[in-house]
Structure 1
């Protein structure tokens, strides 16, 4: 070993001096992508990791692949769930037996870039303890791992769109989507505060953002740390279709958000979200849900004329379908 290499090695912090980070690797029928995802854990430059592999009753070859990686990496834990629990409950199973001071909810159709955890832990170490989440930019990739684009687009002046927010982001997460969920590193104390994910919901991120942002700050790290997979079976591709199970969860989260709002500005931010969700519900003929969103909107602000028109359209549409 060269002298400069020896010096670099001697100045790196020992693994045990760094906070433990838990990667909860959640799998459901990801056999096609699983090796790439798990290999991306193996090449992380951050040394102090706890890895928990969770298979949510996959019906493809995923369990066999997970068993092979667990056998090759004896420190990794493996949970093969006998019944499909859904993302929220499956994550909670691993979270409750984990030890890390920070956690990553890692869907195994995505890919971690090698410096992901090193960069995010370093960011946390520069922040106040009031920060519960560090998130970043991501590359969006297709089924063949080809780059599609980045999560944040840049305009001619280099500004990011959607504009990320840092600090107190409660009103921001009420009014708009801007966080790339797979990029989040979460503080364990934040998850403990929330009791983990809400297992009554069909998806986790919107609810987590709302409840966590009420009392914790978020930090945007302007780095690409993750490759997010776009494919036909991904959850993001199933939203707003007729009989969408996620829409009922969105309404449930909006009810929680209304109870957490403290100021007129926060209620106005929630109204922006409710209007957008109501339009999507009407567009996809989810008329009962559109009417419920309108009722929530009435509790946040005085509805606009177009809001009332959409609510009447939803009422007529519901009668027609009935």
Structure 2
């Protein structure tokens, strides 16, 4: 049997989520003369079953099973031992190779015999396969001399893109003594010995960035320190050989530069930490004085920390939670500057006391004085509850609270960054509330990815949001050819992509689709100038009756967000029989069934979203019977799933357990 031209080498450890997509991207290459060596590095999930299934269908796949996890360097070296192709192509179990990748790289290697390694450029994708950006160092270094000059500073070669001569790979192998960047170590060793590393200036691989990826974990946990350690180990090994080169000298110079920057950063951190502690202590002292001036017994042991009181779905939910226990006279703190205070009144029912501390929190050292004062008032209680939602200030308080204080965190959705900020504080949080099943899954996956003790995942509690749903279906009295009312309710923030709604309105006008686009919220600036004439801007609405009337008159609720949990506005719209036409993100697909109670649009490119939604609006304008059916189904779903009569009792139980 003749040897294959290329050996594709892939190591996998517990990679079930993206493994099929990675395997198929290799099996579907236009170049087919390869063997696919997959090393299962001690996986404990369904990875072995997936691999066996593919191997039984394609004889190009060769499986190597390692019983105990050895790490990526040792696993890849196992694969190198059995590789028989002239070239080795690397692949990662969560990435996607474009169909012509192997063909283009093989052609390059055959035409450039002096080249030892050829890489390609990458595009970064998220966990759903959407392109989210590019690697800056990758873009800056596409020529041989650029790569060679840049490598002593930082890595600029994406490991899963490379094709390397097998003889070179087997000669050098991966350094199993390198705890982190084994690929970067290999590039340094190759360049030090005069081997050429080149790059095809074209994206031929999609590199996934997600909480379980090696790259993500490296970026999130001290990349500078790991970069320093990798260079130090490389230089130590080179010194042992007594064969130093000018390239090694450049690595040493940049190592010294990295060390000086790292040490300066540490010094700055310790100075800042010292001042922080000093100002927090000052806050303690001020708090003690204030406690003597004001009668402490009049203050509730329940403390809420929310970011804003401006108009928004999250703010409505926060107000609902506070009002569930308004009888206990809780204290509510707003920690960020709100765009307006139009929803502040929602928090002021009953005996709730409100403090806007955003002015102090946003000034660095006043921030710490403010923390000190609040900590004194919280810790005075023999039992107390501190409840935070979407709030970094809340996380900073946790380390200073006494053990008798119950700490509750509310997380609406992933993607805003707070899920990462909260990681160091997971063990200090007694209960983490999530509002939808997607966030529940994402949070548990994050814990697993970071090796967080599984017992902390048991502290996660699901309490879904509620909306008022009319007892009777609000029939839409609309004539057959009357224009559709397409509604958006929400913010004009970047992730909402409201500009797409403006472009959809323009395209519908050009296509003569009878549709009127009504936008509620602070969204005027989010819509492009050329599209505004096709939209009606209602501005921000605080009166429930007025907003309910708009819902009652609307036919379609449109949403183009790039990330979401389950928007409250979507729930309210469905409660009024408004048909959702929404992008398939977050927890939305859990509740919207395509062509049953709404339409789901794939979260593809912006142009694809615009075109898909235009076609859906065209169909609904021509098929009013379908529109009525979807409207009734949307209402029925809201009636059965969004009322949540136990909403208040669930929050009361969790919060009041801390003071009973």
SS at match of 2:152: helix
- Map 1:224-263 onto structure 2 (within 5 A): 224-239=203-218, 241=221, 248-256=229-237, 261-263=244-246
- Map 1:1-322 onto structure 2 (within 5 A): 20-128=5-113, 130-152=114-136, 161-166=139-144, 169-194=147-172, 196-202=173-179, 203-213=181-191, 214-239=193-218, 241=221, 248-256=229-237, 261-263=244-246, 267-276=249-258, 279-280=261-262, 283=265
Task: State the Cα distance separating 1:169 from its structure 2 match.
Answer: 4.9
Partners of 1:236 and 1:274 lie apart in 2 by 24
Partners of 2:216 and 2:167 lie apart in 1 by 31
Task: State the Cα distance separating 1:266 from its structure 2 match.
Answer: 5.1
Task: State the Cα distance separating 1:88 from its structure 2 match.
Answer: 0.6
Q: Which runs of 5+ in 2 are unaligned?
A: 270-660
Partners of 2:228 and 2:254 lie apart in 1 by 16
SS at match of 1:215: coil
Partners of 1:273 and 1:109 lie apart in 2 by 31
Task: State the Cα distance separating 1:207 from its structure 2 match.
Answer: 1.0
Partners of 1:242 and 1:151 lie apart in 2 by 18
In structure 2, the CA distance between the partners of 1:111 and 1:30, relative to structure 1 (3 Å rule), is same
TM-score normalized with structure 2 length: 0.37
What is aligned with 1:304? none
What is aligned with 2:430? none
In structure 2, the CA distance between the partners of 1:144 and 1:254, relative to structure 1 (3 Å rule), is farther
Q: Which runs of 5+ in 1 are unaligned?
A: 1-15, 154-159, 288-322
SS at match of 2:141: coil
In structure 2, the CA distance between the partners of 1:169 and 1:260, relative to structure 1 (3 Å rule), is farther
Task: State the Cα distance separating 1:118 from its structure 2 match.
Answer: 0.1
Partners of 2:235 and 2:21 lie apart in 1 by 36
Moved more, 250-259 or 29-38: 250-259
SS at match of 1:201: coil
Q: Deviations over 1:56-93 (max 9, x none)?
A: 11122111111111111133111121000101110011
Indicate conservation of the 8 Å contact 1:88/1:204, yes or no: yes
Task: State the Cα distance separating 1:248 from its structure 2 match.
Answer: 4.2
TM-score normalized with structure 1 length: 0.72
SS at match of 2:175: coil
Partners of 2:139 and 2:186 lie apart in 1 by 22
Partners of 2:208 and 2:238 lie apart in 1 by 29
User: Bigger radius of gyration, 1 or 2?
Assistant: 2
In structure 2, the CA distance between the partners of 1:168 and 1:223, relative to structure 1 (3 Å rule), is closer
Partners of 2:264 and 2:45 lie apart in 1 by 36
Partners of 1:67 and 1:46 lie apart in 2 by 23
Moved more, 238-247 or 220-229: 238-247
In structure 2, the CA distance between the partners of 1:118 and 1:161, relative to structure 1 (3 Å rule), is closer
In structure 2, the CA distance between the partners of 1:201 and 1:74, relative to structure 1 (3 Å rule), is same
Between the two proteins, the alignment pairs up a number of residues equal to: 261
Moved more, 54-63 or 82-91: 54-63
Partners of 2:263 and 2:43 lie apart in 1 by 30
Indicate conservation of the 8 Å contact 1:23/1:104, yes or no: yes
SS at match of 1:117: helix
CA RMSD in angstroms, aligned pairs only: 2.9
Q: Deviations over 1:205-228 (max 9, x none)?
A: 111101112231112111111110
Partners of 1:51 and 1:146 lie apart in 2 by 26
Partners of 2:51 and 2:19 lie apart in 1 by 8
Task: State the Cα distance separating 1:162 from its structure 2 match.
Answer: 2.3
Task: State the Cα distance separating 1:176 from its structure 2 match.
Answer: 2.6
Moved more, 24-33 or 270-279: 270-279
